[in-house]
Amino acid sequence: MKFEASIKETKLDIELSPKDNSFKSGSLNGNYEFITQNGRFLLRLGTKLYQIDNVSYDGSTIDFSVNGNWHTVSVKDEQELLLDKLGFKTGSTAAEGTLKSPMPGKILDVMVQVGDEVTKDQPLAILEAMKMENELKSPVNGTISTIEVEVGQSLEKNETILEIEAIG
């Protein structure tokens, strides 16, 4: 099974073989073991063991913590990669223009207004979560169509912050 995982600006091609529990990603390859134990997920890569908690997903975006550190990964399977190559939009890109809260937190700042034109990766809002300020960036080029939050508002995970009418 082939996958493409995007972590921040980095894209990784990953090939998993469940038959023999092997993986290959770039020049890395080896064996893996995925263990579910008492509601926890453990991933063994070679001799290293990783504890995976707080797993949630929205479409092809997966949020989780590994040994206490938060990560957000966008994953495309073989079918989504083929559709992308052919120029079709997949379910994961249909909601590209929606900026959602990646975790529970409080809005400290909204840096745009309805009608503003924005570019992909432009900072749009600041979310305070777990005593850290997180800069939330635009997923697409476009125009701000709605803003659903106010400064000081508390949000749950995956709550809509704003919507962008994509250009192109």
Asked if pLDDT for residue 3 goes beyond 60, the answer is yes
SS3 164: strand
Cβ–Cβ contacts within 10 Å for residue 108, how many?
A: 13
User: Going from the N-terminus, what domains does the chain have, and what CATH number goes with each?
Assistant: 2-86 (no CATH), 96-166 (2.40.50.100)
pLDDT, tens only, 100-135: 888 889 999 999 999 999 988 899 999 998 788 888
* Average pLDDT for the chain: 85
> What is the pLDDT confidence band of residue 162, given thresholds at 50, 70 and 90?
very high
What does pTM read for this prediction? 0.49
Contacts of 75 (CB under 8 A, 6+ apart): 3, 4, 5, 6, 60, 61, 62
